[in-house]
Amino acid sequence: MGRSALLIGCNYPGTKAELRGCINDVWDFKQTLTQCMGFDEGNIAIMIDTDQQYTQPTGKNIKAHLSKMVTEAQDGDLLFVHFSGHGTQVPSDDPEEKDSKDEAICPCDMNIITDADLTLIFAPLAEKDVKLTFVADCCHSGTMLDHDEVIITGPKDGTPPPPQANAASMQSLLAALGASNDDRDMKNRSLPFGDFKEMLSGMMGGQSVDIGNLRSSMSSLFGDDSSARSMDYSKYISMAKKAMAMMPKSGGQGGGGGGSSMFSSVMAAAGC
C-alpha cells in the first residue's frame, strides 16, 4: 500500500490577497503525516509561494501534480491533498449548481481551480480502490469536491452549535498561549469576487474584467492551463468563429442573416 501527499500553501506575498499562516500549515501537516500517519517524506510533494526553491503552487502545477497522483495510484493506495490559502466563488451557468456559483481554490497565480475541475481530475479514482483525503483550509470549502452530500453538517445530537469565536477572543487566546503577533493570522480566507476580478485586471494591464468576460479573460491569461469552465467557453467561441468563416458571404436582399443566427446558436450552447 503506497501513501503519497501533496501539500499546498499560498500566502500570496506582495498582493492585496496576502495571508500569513498558510505556509506554516504546510509544515504542520508534513510533520503530522510523517510522524503520525506513516508517510515517507520522499512521497510528500510541497508547493509554496514564499520560496522559489519549491515548486510554485500555480494552477497549472497543482492540476498537473494532482493528475499525476491519480494516474499513478494503485489499488490500496492512500492519497492526501492539503490546500491552505484563499477560496472564492465565481458565477456558474451549470444547472446543477443550485446557488449558480462554482467554488474554487485560488493558486498563487489566480488561475483558479473550480470544484468542477477537481471533480474531473479525481473522477478516475472511482475505478480504483484508492482512498483520497482532501483538506481545503479555505473559505467556501464545504462543496469543494462538488459532492452531493455534505459530510459534516454540525451537531448530530440536536443540541445548539457552540458559540462562534470572534477575532478579539481568538487574539486573547493566542496571546495566553504565548503566540506573538507575527504568529497570528486572523485574516479571512475568502477572496471576494470583486478582489479576484481586480487582480485579474491588473494582470491584464488594467483591462476591465467582469462577469461577462471572466471566462475569456481567464482563457486569455492562462490558455490551455485555465479552468475547464474557461476552456469550454473558448471551445465554443472557436466553434462560432469557424462557423462564421464557413458561412457563404451573400449579397443583396435577404442575405447575411444566417451567420448571425449560427453565432447565436453556438453562444447559447456555451451558456453565454
Catalytic residue list: 86, 139
Name the pairing type of β-strands 113-114 and 101-105. Answer: antiparallel
The length of the chain in residues reads 272
Q: Cell triple for residue 62?
A: 497543482
Decide: residue 245, CB within 10 A, 0-12 exposed, 13-18 middle, 19+ buried.
exposed
Coil/strand/helix, residue 130? coil
C-alpha torsion 85→89→93→96, nearest 10: 80
Coil/strand/helix, residue 47? strand
Q: Cell triple for residue 61?
A: 502545477
Closest by CA position to 68, among listed 43, 37, 89? 43
Instruction: Write phi, then psi, for 149 (nearest 5 degrees).
Output: -115, 135
Partners of 84 in the β-ladder = 9, 137
The Cα 151–Cα 145 span in angstroms is 12
* Amino acid letter, 30: K
The Cα 217–Cα 66 span in angstroms is 24
The Cα 76–Cα 238 span in angstroms is 42
